[in-house]
Structure 1
């Protein structure tokens, strides 16, 4: 663990792009790497120093020993990595933009280290993916168990099919991109992390988040229903707004990047 922290930025392929007085941190979600931000990065880099990196589970990370399934059985471990990485890169009071699972990673990190963030922008986040008696998470237990079974039995057949479900199917280039990125994960890592994500319940964490938040969701996302965004708005202590993008799928940074940039410009106070 100590060795990893000594040079976290190298092992996570971290780099800062752009210039400006303020910084933005882009954190990708399950099955992708930093290339998922390529359509919005040039725009953000005009005004900010933008940190991009690859999480240790990504197929783009060279050191296969970095992902420890026991350590990363909770998203809190990713929050610790994020805090350590930002310390190494000398970033504080940053705007955090986290996609999918990274939304809750940012929440955890902001609770532990409020000095690191002045705002959280959570893109398709969820504190719990399973439906409960008083909560619509989007999935029944049997559905996620079937998904785990499919990953375990034939990951390389499952990956492109899953991509077609969660990315706007009309954007075939983006479906293909996510399918290929997902397929670069090691199957055992993909399964372990899927269990960490889809079996989580972090609803009680939300009330500890004091940083101002913007939750951004598409109008039709099979992974996260719109109701989750409003649930998070109600529970998070920091001032929280919800922005709905009229688009399909879980990856607006790929399939509706201009609509996402419009929201980001508004939220960040820029009028390009």
Structure 2
């Protein structure tokens, strides 16, 4: 992707326990505000955003606040009421959430969770598991591409159709033939090919 697009990568505050503010990040809105701040600081506009799981909802929220910043949203393996995804973010279930046949990706996922620290992980879990933004979907006017795994223990296939139906922006649903919740780990080549197909041709920022 970097050969044809300008990529902007960033980490969410929970990625590093030293910068995480427990009292601030009790909902997705502060994350959306952080995202908007980053975009304004970098003078980014009409951007195609690629987000997975909770990041997908954060992007949706940000798009309702400042829609001119976004050209398209690519939403991966996302459910707007994330309480059903509880087991997908517990270390003991990493082989289920990732893919039991992909030991490298399982270990990578475990390490990401461990790097958060216990306090950050618990705080994030409370925010994720008890968030319900289904009512906000109808406020999303930006065109969306919804990407879903064919066999995801956390997000069932019918969820993709639900999102496509509820989001007001022109939306399409793409299914990746894979097992588990993280295509960026266990099916990254398929994901990259799909991203190439769905993003708008020509110079863009992803």
TM-score (norm 2): 0.92
Q: How does 1:197-208 map to 2 (within 5 A)?
A: 197-208=128-139
Gaps of 5+ in 1: 1-43, 131-137, 152-157
Q: 2:93 & 2:20 partners in 1: Cα distance? A: 22
Q: 1:221 & 1:194 partners in 2: Cα distance? A: 19
What's the counterpart of residue 48 of structure 1? Answer: 5
Q: 1:187 & 1:196 partners in 2: Cα distance? A: 14
SS class of match (1:57): helix
What's the counterpart of residue 94 of structure 1? Answer: 47
Could you say if the C-alpha distance between residues 58 and 74 of structure 1 is closer, same or farther in structure 2, counting changes exceeding 3 Å? Answer: same
Q: Would the aligned equivalents of 1:128 and 1:202 in 2 still touch at CA under 8 Å?
A: yes
Q: Would the aligned equivalents of 1:79 and 1:105 in 2 still touch at CA under 8 Å?
A: yes
Q: Would the aligned equivalents of 1:162 and 1:179 in 2 still touch at CA under 8 Å?
A: no
What's the counterpart of residue 94 of structure 2? Answer: 163
Deviation at 1:70, TM superposition (A): 2.6
The yes-or-no answer on 1:248 pairing with 2:179 is yes
Q: 1:105 & 1:162 partners in 2: Cα distance? A: 24
Larger RCO, structures 1/2 (Cα 8 Å, 6+ apart): 2
Deviation at 1:227, TM superposition (A): 1.3
Q: 1:196 & 1:207 partners in 2: Cα distance? A: 22
Q: How does 1:1-272 map to 2 (within 5 A)?
A: 44-59=1-16, 64=18, 66-130=19-83, 138=84, 144=86, 159=91, 161-269=92-200
Q: 1:232 & 1:269 partners in 2: Cα distance? A: 21
What's the counterpart of residue 204 of structure 2? Answer: none
SS class of match (2:145): strand
Flag the structure with larger Rg.
Answer: 1
1:219-249 per-position Cα deviation (integer Å, ceiling 9, x unaligned): 1111111111111111000001110100011
Q: Would the aligned equivalents of 1:111 and 1:210 in 2 still touch at CA under 8 Å?
A: yes
Q: 2:82 & 2:26 partners in 1: Cα distance? A: 16
Deviation at 1:86, TM superposition (A): 1.0
Gaps of 5+ in 2: 202-206
